[in-house]
Structure formats: C-alpha cells, structure tokens
Structure 1
C-alpha cells in the first residue's frame, strides 16, 4: 500500500521512450526519476512511497550489486526488484515496497 502523495511541478511525461527506468509494480508502472519513483494517477504523477513498514517475511536471499536482480535508486538507498516486489534493506531484513 502506498500513500497518495502528488508530485507537484512534474512536467515530464514518463513513457516507454522517456529514458527513465520503468518498474512494473502490481497493476501499474512506476518510473525511477531523480531518486524518486513516480506513478501516473488521474492526470498527475504520484510519489510512490510505502504507507508503512512492511517486512518481507521469509526472504533468505541477500541482495547486492552483483546478485542479478535489477536495482532501482530510491532516495538514500537502493531497491531491488525480485519476484514482482521492490525490496529495500532495513537492518537485518528486507522491507517490501
């Protein structure tokens, strides 16, 4: 679940050829842009931020630069795309974004 936080002043239109990394996430596509993840919503772009702390239970794999999963720069950390989820390292576990 994400909060509804509109990214104001975002004139750029994301799409297949916009040059930003596309991330399939559930029923929509997010775009990595300047350390943020954006999603189209009702004629504007939203910031895709988790609404809470959601631990990805039972995740034994350790992500790293060479683990083979796609990376998405996101604010002050890197998310990893894995089995349809965005994982962010948080202490001794991964959060499900």
Structure 2
C-alpha cells in the first residue's frame, strides 16, 4: 500500500522526540499527530501522511474505544487507535488498517 504525496505547506514546526505531538510508528518512519493530521518528514518539508485506497483489517475482534488499552489519536473527523504498529479506525462495521 502506498501513501499519497501531499505536502503540508507552511509547516514551520519541527517534529521530533519531545516536540509535544504523539509519535505514531509507521513502517520505516514515524508520523506525528498534529491538529488532526499525521505529518511525515520528507526531505526538507512535511507531508500529510495518508494511505491511498482502503485496507480493511480482517480478523480483528478487539473493539477499540475509551479505556481499551490502546492510545487514541485524533485524525480528522474520527479517532484512530494505535495497535501493534498500525492505526485502526472504525469503518462501516469493521476496522481499517491505516
């Protein structure tokens, strides 16, 4: 699965350990949750880190929600939950794997 390349223009904040934003491990890099967006460093700028397409997380019996034991990260109009190196989001009766 690939990500779209959408540069986050006018982003002067420098993300990194201790910057105050939630770190989200994502494959070979770290995304940073910032104002409902996920930012990824890309060269000399920051990208909005969004996957292209729809990937259902099959066989996922766990129900995420407040107090489930997984960290919630606000993402646009919903909350993703960090689980085993993935972001899970509720979607039409199943969980998507972001």
Query: In the alignment, what sits opposite 2:80?
Result: 79
Superposition misfits of 4+ residues, deviation over 6 angstroms: none
Q: How many positions carry a matched residue from both structures?
A: 97
1:50 Cα offset (Å): 1.7
1:18-45, CA deviations, whole angstroms, 9 ceiling, x for partnerless residues? Answer: 1111111111000000100000011110
Whole-Å separation in 1 of the counterparts to 2:65 and 2:43? 36
Any idea what SS the aligned residue of 2:51 has? coil
TM-score (norm 2): 0.95
User: Structure 1: which 5+ residue stretches go unaligned?
Assistant: none
User: Structure 2: which 5+ residue stretches go unaligned?
Assistant: none
Query: In the alignment, what sits opposite 1:69?
Result: 70
Whole-Å separation in 2 of the counterparts to 1:15 and 1:82? 21
Which structure shows the bigger proportion of residues in strand conformation?
2
